[in-house]
Every structure is written in C-alpha cells, then in structure tokens.
Amino acid sequence: MSTTAEKTEDLIRQLLEGRAANPKLELADYLKAIPRLDSLADLPVGTPVLIRGDVDAKPGPTIGEGDIRLRSMADTLHYGIQHGWKQMIFGHIGREPEKSLSKVAKRLGEILKCDVPLVSDWLDESSITIPDGITERIKAAPPKSVLMLENTRRYNIERVLWKAKPADAAKLAEPLTKFANECAAKIAHVYVNEALSAGSLDTSTTIVPLAMDRVALGHYVAHEFDGPMMRCLKAQLVVFSGLKIDKLDDLDAMIARGTIRWVFAAGSLAMALKKASGELDGKNVCIGVAEDPGHADKPYYIPRERVEQAKRMIADGRHKGIQFVLPVDSVIEDGSAVDELKRNQQQFDIGPKSQQLFAEKIGEFIAHKPQDAVAFHNGVFGMFEDARFEAGTKNFIPQLKRLKEAGVDVYIGGGEGGLALEKYGQPDWVTHVFTAGGTVLNALGREPVPYLVALRAAAKH
C-alpha cells in the first residue's frame, strides 16, 4: 500500500496542530487504535519488516553500559527473528547529521548474538529515491536477518517537520509522500515502532508509517504505554522540576485530569508558581533574573504570560484542594542559600529549608495517602551536575524510597530524574523508571505523542 499527498497533508496538519487537531482524544484512545506486535504473527517467513528502533544510544565498553534503549528492543527483535522476518532497523543518533550508528549496530549485534550490518547511503536525497542496490541487498538477505540503516538524520527530509507550521503542510506533503512510498516499496511494507524515546517530529516516526500495509507497536513500547504510563495518569502526587518553563503546560494538563492532590515543584516551574502564589496572596515575590526582560533570551526566563497561567492553575488547584509545595529558599550562584531572591540573583537549587519542608510534606502525604497511591517524579531540583547545586536533588531522592516503602507506586519520568536516581539511589527505590523523559511528558501532559498520532492514522487507513 502507498499513501497520497492528500493523506500526508492531513496527517502533517494533525501533527503540527497537536492536541487542537483532536482535542477529545486521550492517550487511551490512541493506544486502542494501534495494533500490537502479535497482530503480525501471520507474516510469512522472509517478510521484510521496517523497525523504527530506539537507537539513540552511547554504548559503553560492555553490554549493560549506555545501551538500555538497545536492550529494550531485544524482545521485539527476537520475536521477528523467531518468525523469520528480515528486519531493517532505522533511527537517529543525536541531532548532528554527521553522527554514525556504527557502534550502535555493533552493540546491538552483541545483544542479539548475531551480525547486524550497517547499511550506509540508503537514500538518494536529490531525487528522494532509495537506490536499487539497497532493495537488492534486502532481497538477498536470508530470513532472520537484522540490518541497520545509517542515521536517518543525515538526510534533510528526516528533519523538515521540526520547525514547520500548519500552513507548510501543503508544500511538504509531496516530498514526504514520495519518501514514505519509497520506504514502503523498496524497504518494507510492514512497520513496527519500538522507539519509546523518539518523540520528535522526525519523518521516520511520523510520516513513513502512513505508506505501510500494516503497522504495530513493539513489545517494549506497548508495555510502557499500556502499563506504567496509564498508571501514571492516576497519580495523586507529582514532583515537577527543570529549566524548561513549558513543562507548566504538561503540569496544567495533568492537574486537569482530576487525580492530583499534591504538587511539589522546583526549578523554573517553581519560580513561576511561587511568583503566582505570591500575587494571589497579595505579596510581592521576587524571582530574580528569571523575571528580568533583559534575560528574555535565556532558558530560565519566565514570561509574564507564564505567571498568569500559573496563577490560574494555583487558584483552580486551591479550589480543588490541591496542595502546592514550593521552595521557601534558594541556592544562588555562589553556593549560599537565601530566603528571598534579589533582582540580580538566579536560583540554582532549592535551599536547606526547602529540603526540610519537602521531607515534611512527603510525610504528610504518606500519613494520609489514598489507597492505591501513585507518585510521578520528573526532573531534578537544580544544576545537580555541579556539586554546589546538587543537595536539593541528592536529599530528595531518598524521599522516593520513603514513598515506595510506604506502599506508594513511584514512577520516574526518565531523563535527568533517572540519572539522579542512578547517582544518588538504587533502582529498587522506585517502582519504574522510564527511558524517555520527553515522550512521557507528552503522553501525560497536554500534547499527544507524535508517533502515536501517526500510527493511529496509519492503522485507520
């Protein structure tokens, strides 16, 4: 099966408009519409299958070092081997086009205990065609073969949606349709997504599925969404932090679902909420350079509209009985702690008083926790990679263990939160750690995960 420019244009608009395109669809609706790997059990031996893999990894010297994403793919790939498929894995590494997947292919071969050759120059981008030699190589490969295509981001067409607007959909539809149809005709017409963390608007994850005869979620991705991710939608306590103020949108969406009763915040998110809380209470709270328009080009800057958004969230949250636990002191650039920031100061971590407050409030939650309690932790509290600003994160990680020991299911949203657990705690201190921070926030927050949008559209047509 191939796709048309009209169908591609419609999908591009859905992807770029985000939730606004299908405001009534929730995570469960997308998951219900997408087949799982077992739906492909009837594929004949020797069928080529295109696997969108989670190959953005940095393998260390031995298996188990820097390759957790590759290991997460193993069950799906073994399934394909057992069924005699020819599996072509493709995906990206980093954001730089010149990076190669050579080390990744070698490590995946070690994990699977088979040869995984790397296929270079698999696209002629000037004509958006896949060379005949690639097709012949796939045809010549025996059943049970596993091959890896070189870094998809080497090609501009993989990245054209990154900065696109809905108005660009019409002009992008034709080249993207041609690329997707080339993949279906010359590589494989069956597509499996086994790349949990690949939440960007890459063409390989968002457009290529539309040209396929059949699509499915891999074992690992399906498990993560069907189990832990759906469980996190029921969280009563969330811990949100980080430098990116757009996380406020995700927190806003999570609160709107109606289960959250406790919000612990740090980082830029907390600065916005703290400023908003002060204004609601008639107090003038200074959040330092984060509110200085002279720093508007910095990632820690908080625009006025974000403060207004935070005010709406807190006012609504208070009405619903939600407790917002916010820092009461901050660690500044010289490593000292201050109760109130001055206009020329920037917060780099929560201070000791905040650490004590957070521990006390965790105790309150435990004392009155609901049955079947769930907690979700995302981000770190400060610039924890610098020893001067690690105390907030370091001292809070044991609170996650405390929650779990009290019978709370504790989930970490991957990314820096997962690194912090690895650095300051033990894996069994929490219930589950996701391997994809951004994708988890999309799934739990306001915007749909792009590849779920694409797979739903592909399954429907």
Give the tokens for residue 340: 């109130």
Residue written as tokens 């997947």? 101
**Residue 206 — φ and ψ, nearest 5°?**
-110, -30
| Residue ranges of domains in the chain, CATH in brackets | 5-221+448-460 (3.40.50.1260), 233-430 (3.40.50.1260)
How far apart CA 264 and CA 241 sit, in angstroms, is: 8
Hey, how many other C-beta atoms are within 10 angstroms of the C-beta on 169?
21
Tell me what pLDDT residue 1 has.
67
Rg (CA), the chain: 23
407: left (phi over 0), alpha (psi -120 to 50) or beta: left
Taken in order 91, 94, 96, 102, is the CA torsion positive or negative? negative
How far apart CA 188 and CA 247 sit, in angstroms, is: 37
Tell me what pLDDT residue 138 has.
97
Mean pLDDT split into 10-residue runs, the chain, 461 residues: 93 95 93 98 98 96 93 97 98 95 98 97 96 96 98 97 95 97 98 95 97 98 95 93 83 89 93 94 92 90 94 94 95 92 92 96 96 93 86 94 97 85 92 87 87 95 70
**DSSP three-state, residue 248:** helix
Residue written as tokens 């740090």? 266
DSSP 88-127: EEE---SS-TT---HHHHHHHHHHHTS---EE----BTTT
Q: What's 130's DSSP letter?
A: -
Give the tokens for residue 130: 């896949």
Q: What's 378's DSSP letter?
A: E
Tell me what pLDDT residue 359 has.
97
Pair 240, 252: CB distance under 8 Å: no
Give the tokens for residue 252: 């806003």
Pair 387, 424: CB distance under 8 Å: no
Tell me what pLDDT residue 57 has.
94
How far apart CA 288 and CA 298 sit, in angstroms, is: 13
Sequence length of the chain is: 461
Tell me what pLDDT residue 159 has.
96
Pair 324, 314: CB distance under 8 Å: yes
Give the tokens for residue 326: 């916010």
Give the tokens for residue 1: 């099966």
How far apart CA 46 and CA 362 sit, in angstroms, is: 55
How far apart CA 418 and CA 415 sit, in angstroms, is: 5
pTM: 0.90
| Widest pairwise Cα distance in the chain | 74
Q: Cα dist. 242→262, 268, 299, 334, 443 in Å?
A: 18, 6, 11, 20, 18
Tell me what pLDDT residue 387 has.
82
Residues 6+ apart with CB under 8 A from 258: 320
Residues 6+ apart with CB under 8 A from 139: none
Q: In what order do the strands lie in the sheet containing 118-119?
A: 118-119, 146-149, 86-90, 48-53, 190-194, 214-217
Pair 342, 284: CB distance under 8 Å: no
